[in-house]
Structure 1
């Protein structure tokens, strides 16, 4: 009986010690502030404008659609409601090769403007930036 008590105690101790680790790994991500400014749905700050220009320059619409609605790639309007900035960064700099998403880590433009692209897409996902061409806000 003594051997069983030690085994049970060891098992309980291992479970109790593991609980904080499991909780920390499953803790929801904190909401991240995304810096984009938009007026009238299509006038944006300089950084967000660079994000839109990056979208256009890297021809992202050929897979994700001109309005980010999804084609062969997923809708980014929907995806940006669920993924955070870190997941976005991992995706553009690692790709999802098996699903057809290229790795843009060798792109100097993406390296410089990935956060701007995220802000633009987040503004589209939030419904604040309308589809189509953008222009700079007055006073930028």
Structure 2
């Protein structure tokens, strides 16, 4: 019995080291939003697509031009805790009782929801400034 206890204790640190890594890799809610930004307004191509999705779907009519909130909540504040899974559920199911439409029929949203998430996360993190964006490699 004592030998098993020692073996278990020896194995536990390895399990605890490996478990969080495997869990994060298999759980998109844990994965970080990936965006690259320079000078606050130059972003990587995917994040630029996210911003263009924001503009094309006119999200600012409810969430404000700077994502500060109007009739809809501030996304700058919400993205401090909102994970990718909850964002996906919200844009593809809506919150009709609160006025948030369901965007599941939008081809643009289907193709770019992760890019939109990255853009909004960058805004919430304070790395992307409000206003027009351009590609990092743009002159």
TM-score bracket for this pair, using the shorter chain length: 0.7 to 0.9
| Larger Cα-atom Rg | 1
Aligned to 1:88, the other structure's residue is in SS state helix
Q: Tell me by how many angstroms 1:130 deviates.
A: 0.2
Describe how 1:40-119 pairs up with structure 2 within 5 A.
Answer: 40-119=39-118
Corresponding residue for residue 127 of structure 2: 128
Q: Tell me by how many angstroms 1:133 deviates.
A: 0.2
- For 2:32 and 2:55, the matched residues in 1 are separated by 24
- For 2:123 and 2:87, the matched residues in 1 are separated by 15
Deviation string for 1:6-41 (max 9, x for gaps)?
xxxxxxxxxxxxxxxxxxxxxxx8642111000000
- For 1:127 and 1:97, the matched residues in 2 are separated by 29
Aligned to 2:76, the other structure's residue is in SS state helix
Could you say what the CA RMSD is over the residues aligned between the two structures, in angstroms?
1.3
Deviation string for 1:41-92 (max 9, x for gaps)?
0000000000000000000000000000000000000000011000000000
5+ residue gaps, structure 1, are: 1-28
Corresponding residue for residue 137 of structure 2: 138
- For 2:31 and 2:101, the matched residues in 1 are separated by 25
Aligned to 2:102, the other structure's residue is in SS state coil
